[in-house]
Structure 1
Amino acid sequence: MKKIKNPLILLVVLIAAACSNQKGNKIENHWPHAGITYEIFIQSFYDTDGDGIGDINGVIKKLEHVKELGANAIWFMPVMPSPSYHKYDVTDYKDIHPDYGTLEDFKKLIEEAHKKDIKIVIDMIINHTSSEHPWFLESKKSRDNPYRDYYVWAQKDTIADFINKKTITLDSDNIQQWHDPGIGEDYYYGFFYGGMPDLNFDNPKVREEIYDIGRFWLEEVGVDGFRLDAAKHIFPDDRPEDNHAFWKEFREKMEAIKPDVYLVGEVYDMKEIVAPYLPGLPALFNFDFHYTLLESYEKEDGMLLAKRQKEILDFYQDITDEFIDATFSSNHDQPRLLNSLNENPRKLKQAINILMTMPGAPYLYYGEEIGMLGKKPDEHIREPFLWDIEANDKGRTSWIEPKYSIDETVTPLAIQKSMSTSYFNHYKEIIKLRNTNRALALGDLDLYENDLPQSMMAYYRNHKDQQVFVVHNLGDEDKKIIMPEDFGKMIFHYGGASKDEGELHLPAYSSIILEKE
């Protein structure tokens, strides 16, 4: 270190160093292992060209919002050309949907995001393509077409017992997997629906195509990683070992291109089914967290979520200690969180307290930070973001007529920023606490073993020499518990929670966090 002669400058440097070493003072970026990722549906985010559809330039314009919120990365729902509004059926794997902009726009977005220390993750949909993809159009032409074996085809008489099979799974309500393209006796397989024919991963050429697509986005475009859609459906459900093996190979190929590539998989199932994917997909979405959080509120059973989360973490730890637990309280496939919590604002604020004080790498769905509303069908879970009151909101998208998130039901961001008790400012506060407290971001989860009222959730987060004690009351009645010794420093409280003479008092839907002194 260069010797500093000016005593005033030396004093400033020493004070700054001392402050940065204090517990819970310095904002840190813990991504990917414990950082925060913000999910964006570009279609609904911000429109800069007046066509009613959100675009890449709109995201660039609003990157500061992501930064102000405290997120470390953005996951974009599909950005590639597609005939559908949601774009989960791709027609060109190496381009940007023209409604959103161009590849150059996207490269600019990545550049600007990286300047703000924000990583970029894109949705990669490789289980299937669109039925309008050039590969599939070729595949349909004849049995000897070079692209025929890019998809899964079968003669009608060989699959007669399966054509009318009625199967509903956790991640699909499609009741028919074999589809007639109207070209003779051959049917093709499409797990989700006929417009999404499944690729044939038994074909080495298909796998090489996919690896080249990954290389393109990592090397030529510059993304930081992929969210892998429908990861357990690469091969049929009765071939799970082949699925596991593919993802291991995929990871090896991607890490050869970008050693620190981030891969998060959607494996929509119970932990026993999810866990074997970890060697190939080091980050996996924790659907149990979302559903158990809602169940905990329904039953007013505080420890239900804490116990299940501990069980999942211990289960995964036995497989690998390198896993990333991608927790979330809502996403683009689930009703908006506020709707799921009976539109109770206290519950919504407490739910983000729980998400941000639990272990994992939490995901936030755009609009939750302003209390957006939405129910099925999916389009209405993905309604336009409300930046300002409608008369002033030049960038509000209009591709859909919103049914739930309108000015009469949701306070726009511009107004919430000036409200000390708004959803947005609450989100900012608890996220900042997580980003400045290593125990909350990185600590182990230890359950509070003493007797508790049923509605109470209590646990410790321990990281090296830092320990915090977290308590939430998920019920609608006031509760009290004895405060553990040595945890006298209150670093966060919400909903009127307080401490007094060795007791913690928690009104309905309140939270409190204490740090060990």
Structure 2
Amino acid sequence: MKKLKLPHLLVLSALLMTAACTSPAKIQSDSGTQALQEAKVSEWPRGVSYEIFVQSFCDSDNNGIGDIKGMTSKLDYLNELGVEAVWLMPMSPSPSYHKYDVTDYYGVHPDYGTMEDFKEFVKEAHKRGINVVIDLVLNHSGVDHPWFKDAAKNPNSPYRDYYVWAHKDDPITKGEGKFTGDDSHNTKHWHSVEGSDYKYYGYFWGGMPDLNYDNPKMRQEAVNIGKFWLEEVGVDGFRLDAARHIFTDDRQEDNHKFWEEFRSEMQKVKPDVYLVGEVWADAKTVAPYTKGLPALFNFEMSWAILKALKEGEGDSLAIKHDKIIDFYSDVNPDFVDATILSNHDQNRIMSEVNGDMNKAKMAAALLLTLPGSPYIYYGEEIGMQGKKPDELIREPFIWDVKSKDDCRTTWVKPEYSTEQTVAPVAVQEENKNSLLNHYKTLINLRNHSKALTYGDLEPVNAANKAVSAFVRSKDGESLFVLHNVSGMPASVKVPRNLEGYKGVVFQTNGAELKKGQVMLPAYSTLILKK
């Protein structure tokens, strides 16, 4: 039986505001303007990625639902933004809008288009240097999947052992028994089948029964699915949904081993396959997963950044990030730290900061200057808002004013991201001080900086709780970064060992260096070089 152990940042310059990711980033210095790096130095998976909910992104056929052809038509927008990969939420056939209850692991939902449409998207993305990562939902299937439908009605089905079953009188289904570090006995995880004396295990809800990875045949099914998308379709990797829940919480070592085996199998067909895992936990819990899943989302830093913005205290951010990096490096020195501000399961960052544009820009500045390989949730770059339930954090992307927006989806009526609360892309592109152009500038700067893309992190004590200060260094390039995350001005004396940092690389809101003092107005950033 699977899983259960019984019984147990203003901007760089006006020129850079609209610069494409292929142009060199510039340094503003006392001697004028010079190139930071003439050529782009970031290389995915260390570059910036972009998460897309296909249903809300762009509708090409005016049926109200975003689709693959619409997404293909916006690849130039993503290229100009400077991202080097997209992560696509599930696209396989499913009865739900979110499509995490998969009914065919080898198909594309007809609302989104055809497999040929998707292959064309992958080809066009690759032409632009954009990698493609798809959501792979291996923890569970949908109840409408042919495997489960047959297993539920026939105890002798060849697919019966693809799922986890227990008799309705088994103590575990009644919330009885004790399992250290595990809540598999929680009655909410066990679900009845009409006319049967057995219940099935579904960690998230009854519509998504967990798959049984104690079954070698099921493990092989997972390998076959992954190889299909890599070999036949040409994707570059996978975001592994619910990676922590392949086995129950008391079997974390089995989880780690499973992902190591899965990675090994994927590398047989694509040696450089990219795997990024979803493990909602602190760094100590996440770290062991980095052997099998060399990229993992850094939820802990996303929580820390939000806390800093809400409290106006950023002095511990670099220290915390440095400790997290140490945890991961001890297990896998080559891990990829997938940093985020929010994603499709979290309230949007703009709503969390109550629509404060200064805080939203500061969030972007922190994300794109701290270590890691950042992910941007679609619409984050234009300030889309949203709070749970989930449909309302996945609202339609706003491309233009409604009379001109032939791409906007209508599958759900937005309550948070409307033209009254969010300036469309077309409007923001024309405003050099917009959030969108702020993102473009920071991404461009990062893409042309070895220090910001690959550099080590050295926290700096600025002797001011409002200021997050740190040094990023790589291959002779060293940058001193200071952020004032509060609504009050701050002054920081440059430490003696950093007095050589005098060239201004990036500044917002009038931040400046004056006679050894860094003057940081509210919500401002200053980046200095030697």
- Shorter-chain TM-score range: over 0.9
Find the partner of 2:261 among 222, 225, 249. 249
Taking the aligned partners of 1:162 and 1:301, their CA distance within structure 2 comes to 46
Could you tell me how far 1:421 is from its partner in structure 2?
0.6
Task: Check if 1:513 corresponds to 2:527.
Answer: yes
Find the partner of 1:93 among 93, 105, 111. 105
- For 1:244, what is the secondary structure of its paired residue? helix
Aligned residues: 494
Alignment of 1:443-482 (within 5 A): 443-449=455-461, 451-482=462-493
Q: Does the CA contact (< 8 Å) of 1:265 and 1:283 recur in 2? A: yes
Letter in 2 for 1:136: F
Query: Counterpart in 2 of 1:56?
Result: 68
Letter in 2 for 1:73: A
Taking the aligned partners of 1:357 and 1:175, their CA distance within structure 2 comes to 45
Q: Does the CA contact (< 8 Å) of 1:346 and 1:495 recur in 2? A: no
CA distances 1:448-470 after superposition (whole Å, capped 9, x unpaired): 13x52111110000102110000
- For 2:381, what is the secondary structure of its paired residue? helix
Query: Counterpart in 2 of 1:12?
Result: none
Alignment of 1:100-499 (within 5 A): 100-160=112-172, 162-163=174-175, 176-449=188-461, 451-483=462-494, 484-499=498-513
Query: Counterpart in 2 of 1:5?
Result: none
Q: Does the CA contact (< 8 Å) of 2:309 and 2:363 recur in 1? A: no
Could you tell me how far 1:476 is from its partner in structure 2?
1.3
Query: Counterpart in 1 of 2:21?
Result: none
Find the partner of 2:48 among 16, 20, 36. 36
Query: Counterpart in 1 of 2:514?
Result: 500
Q: Does the CA contact (< 8 Å) of 1:74 and 1:119 recur in 2? A: yes
Query: Counterpart in 2 of 1:27?
Result: 40
Could you tell me how far 1:298 is from its partner in structure 2?
2.4
TM-score calculated relative to the size of structure 2:
0.90
Ranges in structure 1 where 5+ consecutive residues have no aligned partner:
1-15
Could you tell me how far 1:302 is from its partner in structure 2?
1.1
Superposition RMSD on alpha carbons, in Å? Answer: 2.1
Find the partner of 1:84 among 89, 93, 96. 96
Instruction: Indicate the structure whose relative CO is greater, using CA pairs within 8 Å and at least 6 residues apart.
Output: 2
CA distances 1:279-321 after superposition (whole Å, capped 9, x unpaired): 1000000000110111112222212221110110011111121
Taking the aligned partners of 1:260 and 1:91, their CA distance within structure 2 comes to 29
Letter in 1 for 2:473: N
Alignment of 1:2-17 (within 5 A): none
Q: Does the CA contact (< 8 Å) of 2:92 and 2:106 recur in 1? A: yes
Tell me which moved more, 142-151 or 356-365: 142-151
Letter in 2 for 1:514: L
Query: Counterpart in 2 of 1:4?
Result: none
Taking the aligned partners of 1:62 and 1:28, their CA distance within structure 2 comes to 24
- For 2:331, what is the secondary structure of its paired residue? coil
Taking the aligned partners of 1:26 and 1:457, their CA distance within structure 2 comes to 29
Query: Counterpart in 2 of 1:45?
Result: 57
Q: Does the CA contact (< 8 Å) of 1:178 and 1:189 recur in 2? A: yes
CA distances 1:150-176 after superposition (whole Å, capped 9, x unpaired): 100111122356458999x9999x971
Taking the aligned partners of 1:464 and 1:408, their CA distance within structure 2 comes to 46
Taking the aligned partners of 2:171 and 2:296, their CA distance within structure 1 comes to 33
Q: Does the CA contact (< 8 Å) of 1:24 and 1:433 recur in 2? A: no
Taking the aligned partners of 1:474 and 1:203, their CA distance within structure 2 comes to 51
CA distances 1:312-357 after superposition (whole Å, capped 9, x unpaired): 0011111121100000011111111111112110110111011100
Query: Counterpart in 1 of 2:87?
Result: 75
Taking the aligned partners of 1:120 and 1:339, their CA distance within structure 2 comes to 28
Taking the aligned partners of 2:246 and 2:350, their CA distance within structure 1 comes to 34
Letter in 2 for 1:455: A
Query: Counterpart in 2 of 1:13?
Result: none
Taking the aligned partners of 1:500 and 1:494, their CA distance within structure 2 comes to 15
Q: Does the CA contact (< 8 Å) of 1:282 and 1:323 recur in 2? A: yes
Q: Does the CA contact (< 8 Å) of 2:182 and 2:250 recur in 1? A: no
Taking the aligned partners of 1:170 and 1:346, their CA distance within structure 2 comes to 42
Query: Counterpart in 2 of 1:9?
Result: none
Taking the aligned partners of 1:351 and 1:105, their CA distance within structure 2 comes to 35
CA distances 1:355-379 after superposition (whole Å, capped 9, x unpaired): 1001111000000111111111010
The change in CA–CA distance for 1:105 and 1:164 in structure 2 (over 3 A counts) is farther
Could you tell me how far 1:475 is from its partner in structure 2?
1.1
- For 1:188, what is the secondary structure of its paired residue? strand
Ranges in structure 2 where 5+ consecutive residues have no aligned partner:
1-23, 28-33
Aligned identity (percent) is 51
- For 1:210, what is the secondary structure of its paired residue? helix
Letter in 1 for 2:502: G
Q: Does the CA contact (< 8 Å) of 1:163 and 1:178 recur in 2? A: no
TM-score calculated relative to the size of structure 1:
0.93
